[in-house]
Each structure stands twice: as structure tokens, then as C-alpha cells.
Amino acid sequence: MDLRQLAALTAVADHHSFSAAARALHTVQSNISTHVARLEKELSAVLVDRSTGELTDAGELVVARARQIHAELAAITADVTSLQGDVAGQVRIGVIGTTGRWLVPALLNALGSAHPRVRLVTIDATTTSLLPQLSSGRLDLAVVNLPATDPDVEVEALFEEDHVLLTPAEHPLASRDRVELTELSDTPLLLEPPGTGFRDHLDNDANRLGVRLVSQAEVDGMRLLAALAQQGFGAAVLPASAMVDWTHPTRKAVALDGATRRGVGLAIPRRGRQTAAARATADVLRSVVETEVPNLSGLHLVR
């Protein structure tokens, strides 16, 4: 077993075919096939279903280990460099979209000043997508909705945010500055689907108050949901961060009372040792949150 074999199998896992894996690794398909076949022979197991290009259960297990190995190898150079007083290396961070709008620009500026040799790779995705990437080693850090219940991930709370009702100007509730959640019963709304953290929290609050939420449409992705509401497709319940630095003459943001604040936290993998660059990035991120959140309407630091 060698690193080329593990890299080939991981590329097949990421790109779902031998030909695409070869392109990603800038080699020919026969090399990928040879590396995977030799690995299969050594392990006495089929790792890739040739008819679909997808991993078998054994392949999934090997790739999970391979990702950890590659992460540890990448960490060696970064950690040795940090011992010489110069934090450097690549850090892959996932961020939920509505938070990323205001957090990522501030993080890039602060990180560039504090640690100019750290290269940040940012992935914009939902919490349900980010957590598996974090636990598998494809991400070093992630900013996610709370609670995050993955047993392979450790989470610390960063801040909480209020709920906001964004409506078209002609909506019956648009003339109000504040509304109660109870007033939304039977009102058609743009919502995230059941099973997402934000929707589940909202449903829990609605059930507690005897409110019947009616979905005009369901969108899995808070940033897209906010964009649809901002373009006037309907009224939507959004986290306050979706409204940061946003105004529109034909839309109205109305404070929503009676809904539990959404929690946002920093998640890191439980397994393995973080690189010096990842630890430094996490520290800078915490500092940015401490500085920025008090200046943003509807957001509250967790003390």
C-alpha cells in the first residue's frame, strides 16, 4: 500500500469515475485503474463498483482512513513551519451562506494581517452538507447552525440571532415593525424543508404556540431562500444575518417575536490534531465574531 494508491481511490470517490479521477490527478486512466486494482489485491476486497464508479462499503472505509492520512501528512509541513515562528499552510473552512456574507470578508482581512502565509479555502454550504465533510477530514473548520449532533464533531457556540419576517411591501404584515409568531398561522411562507435545523426549531416553536405553518415553497439553502424572498417571491422567516447590509424599497423586514433565537457555532473534528494554521484561523475567527457581532442588528454574542 502506498500514497499513490490511496490518492487514486480518493479521487475516484470524489469524482465518481476512473476517467474523471485521472483528469483531477493529471494522469491517465490506466494509472488510476492500476493503483486501485493493486490496492484491492492487497486488501483482498473490491473497493469500487466498476459498473457505477461508486465506492463499495469497503471502499468507503478505506477512503475515510485515507483522508485522515493525507490530512496528517499535510499538517507536518505546516506544523514544522509554525515551530519556526511562521504560521503557514492551507485551511479549508465551511460556512453557512447567510453567516458567510458578513463573516468571510472580515475573516479574510483579519487573517491576512495576522497570518499572511495561511491560505484559506472557503466552502459555502448548508450545515447538513458541512458536517459530513468535517468529520471525514475534507474540512478543517466549519461555521454551522446549532445544535450539531455529529459524534465526530466538537462544537462551540459563537453567537445567536433573532428571526425576521421578510415580506413584499403589499403584504398585510408589511406595515408592522414587529409581529408575533402566532400571527403567522395559516400564512403562506417561504421555508426551509423539515429536517433542516432552522425549520425544525421554527416548527418546535410553532407547535408550542399552536401555530400552523403553511409553506408556499420549501428551499433547502438559507441563502437561496433569502434571495427568493428579497426578489419578492413571497414572505419568508429568515435569520437576522440574512438581512445584514440589505435594504430594498419594495420589501419590508419585520422583527419576529416568539421564535427561539438561532444558534451559530464553530465546529472542528474530534479526531486527529489540528494544524497550527487551522488553530490560528479558529482563533482569528473567534476574534472577528467578538468584534463584528455587537455591530450587527439582531445578532447577539454568547457569553
* Structural domains in the chain, sorted by start: 3-70 (1.10.10.10), 87-160+263-301 (3.40.190.10), 163-260 (3.40.190.10)
pLDDT over threshold 90, residue 245: no
Torsion angle defined by CA atoms of residues 293, 250, 253 and 301, in that order, rounded to the nearest 10 degrees: -10
DSSP-derived secondary structure for 236-268: EEEEGGGGTT---TTEEEEEEESSPPEEEEEEE
Rounded to whole angstroms, the Cα distance separating 93 from 140 reads: 6
- Asked whether 38 and 5 are in contact (CB, 8 A), the reply is yes
At 43 the pLDDT is: 92
- Summarize pLDDT for 247-260 with one digit per residue, the tens: 677 788 899 999 99
Side by side, the strands of the sheet bearing 178-180 are 178-180, 251-257, 163-168, 236-239, 188-191, 214-218
Average pLDDT along the chain: 89
pLDDT over threshold 80, residue 292: yes
pLDDT over threshold 70, residue 246: no
Strands 251-257 and 178-180: parallel
At 126 the pLDDT is: 87
C-alpha distance from residue 66 to each of 10, 13, 70, 137 (Å): 7, 11, 6, 9
- Summarize pLDDT for 63-112 with one digit per residue, the tens: 988 887 877 777 776 677 666 667 888 899 999 988 998 999 999 999 99
Contacts of 299 (CB under 8 A, 6+ apart): 159, 160, 161, 162, 240, 241, 293
Residue 172: asked if its preceding bond is cis (omega within 30°), the reply is no
At 261 the pLDDT is: 93
One-letter amino acid identity for 29?
Q
Secondary structure (3-state) at 119: strand
At 116 the pLDDT is: 93
Contacts of 142 (CB under 8 A, 6+ apart): 93, 94, 95, 130, 131, 133, 134, 266, 267, 268
Rounded to whole angstroms, the Cα distance separating 145 from 79 reads: 30
Secondary structure (3-state) at 127: helix
- Summarize pLDDT for 115-126 with one digit per residue, the tens: 999 999 999 998
At 118 the pLDDT is: 93
Residue 152 DSSP class: T
Closest CA to 278 of 67, 115, 103: 115
- Asked whether 63 and 55 are in contact (CB, 8 A), the reply is yes
C-alpha distance from residue 91 to each of 81, 111, 142, 281 (Å): 15, 11, 11, 8
One-letter amino acid identity for 48?
V
pLDDT over threshold 90, residue 161: yes
Burial of 226 (0-12, 13-18, 19+ CB in 10 A): buried
Rounded to whole angstroms, the Cα distance separating 238 from 270 reads: 31
pTM exceeds 0.85:
no
Can you tell me the mean pLDDT for 121-137? Answer: 90
